[in-house]
Each structure stands twice: as structure tokens, then as C-alpha cells.
Amino acid sequence: MAKKYLNFKFSEFTTNKNFKFSRKKILKVLPEKHLLDAHKVISKWKRYKKTPLINLRILSKKLRTNNIFYKDESKRFGLKSFKALGGAYAVEKIVKNKKKVTVSTATAGNHGKSVSWGAKKIGAKCKIFISENVSNTRAIEMEKLGADVIRVKGNYEKSLKICKEISNKRGWKIIQDVAWRNYEYVPKLTMAGYSVMIKEISNQTKHYITHVFLQAGVGGMAAGIISGIAKYFKRIPKIIVIEPENANCVMKSIKYGYQKKVNIQKQSIMGGMSCAEVSLVPWRILKNAVNNCVSVSDKYVPQTLTMLAKKKFGDKKIIAGECSTPGVISVISCCNDPIVKKKLEINEESNILIIGCEGDTDKNLYNKLYKIGNQKLKKYD
């Protein structure tokens, strides 16, 4: 039996019994015109450039695959996150040329930063609602971009509730990446923005991607990327959704066949992914387009973050935030399980894509996790 690499193990793995990938159905939920417009608009923004697609050659060799590609969103517009593609694009489309418009949103951090940046770019006022779980570091980053940050007692769901109530009273335009009944257009815009990553990747490698490991919180990024795959990829890869073990709402929903809310007993350190319920529009895409779901533990986050920074997986130093690590963790974990590796058909010909969705967007947390990871690494060195 092959030796397990780093002894990483997933918490849970499941197969989607309702899997049936349909480009037509996906592009009906998120129309092609939105994807094309998102790329057209975003690619004209000042400082736009494709973020790096890094080959994790060392990791690929260890796991006996052909390639493992890491899309490094820490380099996105100086905002250090893929979210820069979504919120800011939605702000531009909703505000257009209107003056004296105030936009608002509830956020765990990165989406709010994108909305703040988008508002600043076009001269709109911005109100950001955050929960008590959001760090001061993240709040200050949004204030630096000109936003008024309002902290709400309670969790993310509570901050969203207050955001909706106050915004509706005051006539503010809500720029949310979560959909609800009669509120779908804006989340579709943010998802269209995320599809730009796949448009870029389609021109960054000649290898056909065979597997894509996608993080999910409420499912916006995963669904946006899947829409990009439906539009821009010639061959459809296997799609595996990753979640924290305590916040596996997509996995639970896939299992039951309908949107299933989870009761989060303990918040994950992967804060942007610690979500109790999959969003309405993403669910319409995810329910049939995802092959498998895997959940992972927080305990591997510090070590993975540090190993990416210390070039243990590839030739380049990668600054990866906590939510960038589960892609690497889940690939290693799945390859460490011979049955799952065989089920996923991961082999010497596989070209795997991981989304490094953020950099050190919370520097204090990053430094803390790096320190913990470094201590763990010393045991291996």
C-alpha cells in the first residue's frame, strides 16, 4: 500500500446521485450574455491582468498526477481575493451613471472589500454590515476604501438581515452575493464576474483540465466557475466541491436533493466558507453539475498555508489565505484514500485545478496560522 502523503484525511466524501452536467441548463440559470459582458467590462479596468496559474510540480509528483494547477487570486487588483471580480462588477452594473447612489452589503470580509472598491471607483457611497465574528483588520481594510462599516451583534445571517432592513428603509442599493426570493439579478452578476477566472485559465494552459476542486460557502464562487466551465471549456472535468466539516451545507443538500440548512456548532477558521445554507441561484447549478463533495478539517489549514509559502508544493512562494488551503488539503486527502482516488479517476494523466481564492486578506490571522504551521513543519524537517 502506498504511503500517505502528510497523513491528510478528509472528514467526509459523498457522490452526487443526481449528477447530470448540462451546459444548456447551466447557461440558462446564468446566461452567456452575463459571462461575456463580465469579461468585456472587467478586462478593461485599470490594472487588469490575468492572475497567475501556478504549477504545483512538487505536489503533483508526490501524488502521481500529470499537473496540479493553482489559480493564484492573491494577485487580483491589489484586493488579494477573487471577490474583486464579483462585487465591484455588480456595483458598476447596478449604479451605472446614476449620481448620489448608496450601495450596501453584508459580508464576512472579501465581498465587502470588493463592493467598497467598486463604489470608490465610480464615486458611490458605501455601507458595509459585518457580524461580530469579522476581524477589525478586515473592517479597517474596507474603511480605507471609503466605506462606512456597521458592526452587528450576532452572526453573518444577522448582519444580512439588518442590512436588508435598513437598506430597504433608506433606498440603498443592496449588492449581495447571496440570492433570495425576488433577489437574483445582483448575485448572478457577481457569479458572472467569478467566471472570468475560467476564461483566463482557458488561455493559460493547453492541458485539458480533468478535475476541478472548488471551495463553497454559499456556493457563489463554485457556481460562477462551473458556469465558466460550461461556457469556455471544451471538455467537462470532474467537479468536486470542498467545505469545512462543520459547515457542509452543499454536501448535505446534494445528499438530500434539496437545499438543506446545517446547524453550525463551531465556526470554521475558514471564515468565508463557514456558511449554514447554500444560496438559491448557485443551488440550481450545483445540484446537478457537481460530481462529488468532500469536507475537511480546520486542523490542516496552518500547515498547508505555511507549506505554500515555503515552496514545499511548487517552485513559487504562494501567499495563501485560510480559504485557499482546502483545495490543496482535499486533493491530498482524496489521493491518500485509494478507493476515492480510483473513484475520482485521479491518475498519472490527471490535470487538476485548484482555486487559490485569496491571499493574506487578514494579515493578523495569516501570521498566526503561519506560525502554527511552521511549528508543525519542524516535526517533518
CATH number of 12-81+190-378: 3.40.50.1100
Report whether pLDDT(108) > 90.
no
Instruction: Give whichever of 153-167, 270-284, 342-356 has the largest mean pLDDT.
Output: 342-356
| Residue 98 pLDDT level (bands cut at 50, 70, 90) | confident
Work out the mean pLDDT of the chain and round it to a whole number.
95
Collect contacts of 274-278 with beta carbons under 8 A, ≥24 apart: 274/108, 274/217, 274/244, 274/246, 274/247, 275/156, 275/216, 275/217, 275/218, 275/247, 275/249, 276/157, 276/247, 276/249, 277/218, 277/249, 278/216, 278/218, 278/219, 278/249, 278/250, 278/253
Residue 379 above 90 pLDDT? Answer: no
pLDDT at 381 (0 to 100): 60
222 Cβ neighbours under 8 A, 6+ residues apart: 214, 215, 216, 241, 250, 282, 286, 290
12-81+190-378 and 87-176 agree in CATH topology: yes
> Residue 1: what pLDDT?
45
Instruction: Say what the pLDDT of residue 333 is.
Output: 98
Determine the distance from the C-alpha atom of residue 291 to the mean position of all C-alpha atoms in its chain, rounded to a whole number: 18
Question: How many Å apart are CA 372 and CA 81, to the nearest integer?
Answer: 23
Stretch 278-282: mean pLDDT: 95
| In the chain, where the domains are located | 12-81+190-378, 87-176
**What CATH number does domain 87-176 carry, 3.40.50.300, 3.60.15.10, 3.40.50.12780, 3.40.50.1100?**
3.40.50.1100
Q: What is the pLDDT of residue 155?
A: 85
Tens digit of pLDDT for each residue in 171-208?
999 999 988 889 999 999 999 999 999 999 999 999 99
The structure's pTM equals: 0.95
pLDDT band per the 50, 70, 90 thresholds, residue 375: very high
Tell me: pLDDT of 224 over 80: yes
Handedness of CA 151, 153, 158, 161 (dihedral sign): negative
